[in-house]
Structure 1
Amino acid sequence: MDTPTRPPERRSRASLGLSAAAAEGRFALQTCAECRTVQYPPRDACQTCLSTDLPWKDVSPKGRLLAETTIRTSTNLFFRARMPWRTGTVQLDAGPIIICHVHGDCAPRSPVMLWNLLDRAGQATLLAVPQERTPLMEDDPQLRQMTADPKHRRVMITDGRHPGTPALVKALKDAGAAQIHVGEAETWRPYPGRAALENLGVDLQPLDLTDTASVQKLAAEYGGKTDIMINNARFMRPGGVLARGDTAFARDEIDVNYLGLMRLAQAFGPAMCARASDGVNSAVAWVNILAVEALSNAPDYGCFNASNAAAYALSLSLRAEFRASGLRVMNVFTGPTEDDWYEPLPPPKVTDTALAKSIVSGLQRGLEDVYCGDIAQDLYERFRRDPKVLERERTMAGDMA
């Protein structure tokens, strides 16, 4: 698929890390440590005082639209199929003038805010949007090209037995999802959330991620109709390596959490990639829900976390394989959730509603990584600062002096 070329502002550091910070509309530019002049584009020396001490700092995303134009024809195949396309220049309150994409609701010379987004090529870009929300703002065609908003789209959720599935379905319906299909393994065995799913009007379908034939059968019917895949299936038991007497549970965790993701991608991936350019109802996102301990393990749930680490590594491979088609991979890292398996752990824990809200918000902002809950955000920040220090803290616990 032809994809848009990268405008200069993509060199902004914040535009290169599409995660929780992007959801807050923050981005960083070089700022001179001596005279405080904000630099754009990036430079080796300050344009004002020639200092070479130019650290990257967060700046306000607010500014004013100086000029705009609407492109109505293009030699680029991506843009040609999506005309008209609005672009313009924005002067930030911090000083620099930036060339960016412009939301259709932005009036000339009006106050705007820059959002960090990813285009369909997976490259970071900036979109100017009104500072005050407008009616049907999310329906702007340019914004939809740069996000995975569930509105008007068909969603497949892999595990109806997951305790958070009813809350997720409700959040997707509130966001305007057109259809929601939910897979369930062992359909003969009752579970508490089934009545809630039926009341929400979802389409329940047999799906066992440990059975290749089951996954392929569902993909044959729904692979070409799925716009957003949300893989929330999991098998988990507490304990590390020495706490378990055998490898039975570990095999189940790998079979569901890692190999299940692989079976799902092999069955649904090709059809979804083929539909990534279908306009309003294109396939747009693949969502994996992972334990944040996939980044740095701890023995209380060591074997389960290891299977999540494997799934995380696999998701990075999928991101690379899906990128050419424009299908986005979003990993949602969550702290301990409010369910029976995490009951021994102390709060804070992630509620089903909070997890569902994070998933929908991440899709609406087109993020690649979402960290849900205080524990997940804290662990991510510590991991980003120094993974080795975090490893020692988590594996040595009270033994550290």
Structure 2
Amino acid sequence: MTAPLTPPKRKDPLVRTRAGHVPPGLRSRAARAMAVRAGQGSFVLQVCDRCAVVTYPPRDRCPRCWGELNWKDQPRGAVVEAETTVRATIDLFFREHLPWRIGSVRLDAGPMAIVHLHGDVKQGDRVRMELRLDRGGAPALFALPEKETPNMADDPQLREFSADPKFRRVLVTDGRSPIGQIVAKALLKSGAQTVFLGNAEPLMRYPGQDDIEAIDGIEPVALNLAHTRSCQELAAQMGGRIDIIVNTAAFARPGGVGFDSKLTDLQTGLDIEVMGLMRLAQAFTPAMSGRSDDGVNSAVAFVDIVSVHGLTGKTGFAGSAASAAARLSLISGLRGEIAKAGIRVMTVLTGPVDDDWHQNVPPPKTAPEQIAKAVIETLVKGQETICAGDVARDVLSRWQADPLLTIREENQ
């Protein structure tokens, strides 16, 4: 049985911080394709279009008949055939995390695979397989107990494949919005040690302020993403204490491009959502990258909540969609920059949010509770991309199938 995780002791400032390393990187385009699907929470393997054989690890051609391989969802069951424990290695990542358990499993889909083993799994067990991303962004198979076990999420190896908020300190950038407040409560419920709640205008009251700031574990901080100095000052004060950043800042206003448009709204939106994202990343990611392997509460993730219409544009909210598109581009660049440090960059895609600025948008709309649930899920599972609500899932699935058609559908 997995031992429960205990709160970390106060860090000795004289002790050297362990340098962060990541597991060996990807070596083929097929492996990168698998990583994309793992980042969306799918469990897929390659299937030959000629002989229908399921194969693993990722390959460019079928090893049996040289046919073309396609990705398809597979059953998650498997049986552990053998297990071993690695106790010595020259790899810089694994040598800091020994002992490390691996094993051979017979997948229900057919292939035999070498996988990472949860501590509650032993030889002969039926297991539930998950396709996870390691800290470097590479896909890996992880064998979990078939049924939930006590303290299962506290397994040390499993935590290396997630960004679980338990005992970690989180910065939520905008606490003035309902989304920020609900996300903060969800993080505390999931075990976060402290949630620092950003407030862009400390001298102005906002709805729910007394209630949210009275909660044990919530610590309000001054943070205005529209001002570079505000981001820099907060990072100087506590950049070394932040383990997870959840960017809830948003500026959604109705308006078109040639009609019913306001340049001031577009400028403000770009300043808060796009330039603000860059200010936030420049201020905090250097310190986070230096603490990516700092024990139980190491820095692990940067989460951005953004509209799914950044992929398609949206008539009636063209400015907000343009800001979202720029944010998605910046997030992709940031993911590549800090992958070597082992910091995960995650995107929560939303549809129209159920707020005052979307009153004229017909349902279904995305509730703040759905966004908070998606934030916790992507942290616990270590996913790169997750959808909050049915609208975002529908738009993303259609966009993946036919991008140009989806763009036309969303703008007519």
Q: TM-score w.r.t. structure 2 length?
A: 0.90
- 1:332 equivalent in alignment to 2:348: yes
- 1:372 equivalent in alignment to 2:388: yes
- Find the counterpart in structure 2 of residue 91 from structure 1: 106
- Find the counterpart in structure 1 of residue 198 from structure 2: 183
2:200 partner amino acid: A
Q: Note if contact 1:6-1:125 (Cα within 8 Å) is conserved in structure 2.
A: no
Match of 2:45 among 28, 42, 49: 28
**Which sits farther off after the overlay, 53-62 or 375-384?**
53-62
Match of 1:77 among 70, 92, 108: 92
- Find the counterpart in structure 2 of residue 44 from structure 1: 61
The unaligned stretches of length 5 or more in structure 2 are 1-19
- 1:213 equivalent in alignment to 2:229: yes
- Find the counterpart in structure 1 of residue 149 from structure 2: 134
The residue correspondences of 1:2-401 to structure 2 (distance < 5 A) are 2-5=21-24, 11=31, 14-22=34-42, 26-34=43-51, 36-41=52-57, 42=59, 44-45=61-62, 47=64, 50=65, 52=67, 54-201=69-216, 202-244=218-260, 246-395=262-411, 397=412
Q: Note if contact 1:4-1:121 (Cα within 8 Å) is conserved in structure 2.
A: yes
| Residues 11 and 349 of structure 1, relative CA distance in 2, 3 Å threshold | same
1:16 Cα offset (Å):
3.6
**Which sits farther off after the overlay, 208-217 or 282-291?**
208-217
Q: Note if contact 1:114-1:126 (Cα within 8 Å) is conserved in structure 2.
A: yes
**Cα deviations across residues 257-315 of structure 1 (Å, max 9, x unaligned)?**
00011111111111011111112111000000001101110121001110111111111
| Residues 326 and 31 of structure 1, relative CA distance in 2, 3 Å threshold | same
| Residues 12 and 291 of structure 1, relative CA distance in 2, 3 Å threshold | closer
Partners of 1:3 and 1:192 lie apart in 2 by: 43
Q: TM-score w.r.t. structure 1 length?
A: 0.92
**Which sits farther off after the overlay, 125-134 or 50-59?**
50-59
1:323 Cα offset (Å):
0.9
Partners of 2:172 and 2:55 lie apart in 1 by: 45
2:37 partner amino acid: G
1:4 partner amino acid: P
1:212 Cα offset (Å):
1.2
Partners of 2:386 and 2:354 lie apart in 1 by: 18
Q: Note if contact 1:209-1:263 (Cα within 8 Å) is conserved in structure 2.
A: yes
| Residues 44 and 324 of structure 1, relative CA distance in 2, 3 Å threshold | closer
Q: Note if contact 1:358-1:372 (Cα within 8 Å) is conserved in structure 2.
A: yes
1:275 partner amino acid: R
**Cα deviations across residues 104-125 of structure 1 (Å, max 9, x unaligned)?**
1112210111111111111111
1:333 Cα offset (Å):
0.6
| Residues 52 and 219 of structure 1, relative CA distance in 2, 3 Å threshold | same
| Residues 382 and 198 of structure 1, relative CA distance in 2, 3 Å threshold | same
Partners of 1:7 and 1:133 lie apart in 2 by: 31
| Residues 279 and 342 of structure 1, relative CA distance in 2, 3 Å threshold | same
2:393 partner amino acid: Q
Give identity over the alignment, percent: 40
1:13 Cα offset (Å):
5.3
Partners of 2:258 and 2:27 lie apart in 1 by: 53
**Cα deviations across residues 125-167 of structure 1 (Å, max 9, x unaligned)?**
1111111011111111111111100011110000011111222
Q: Note if contact 1:240-1:303 (Cα within 8 Å) is conserved in structure 2.
A: yes
Partners of 1:51 and 1:262 lie apart in 2 by: 46
1:181 Cα offset (Å):
0.5
2:319 partner amino acid: C
Partners of 1:252 and 1:140 lie apart in 2 by: 44
Q: Note if contact 1:8-1:99 (Cα within 8 Å) is conserved in structure 2.
A: no
**Cα deviations across residues 299-345 of structure 1 (Å, max 9, x unaligned)?**
21001110111111111111111111111100111011111111111
**Cα deviations across residues 226-271 of structure 1 (Å, max 9, x unaligned)?**
0000010111211112234541111100110000111111111110
How many residues were matched structurally?
A: 390
The unaligned stretches of length 5 or more in structure 1 are none
Partners of 2:143 and 2:248 lie apart in 1 by: 33
Q: Note if contact 2:26-2:32 (Cα within 8 Å) is conserved in structure 1.
A: no
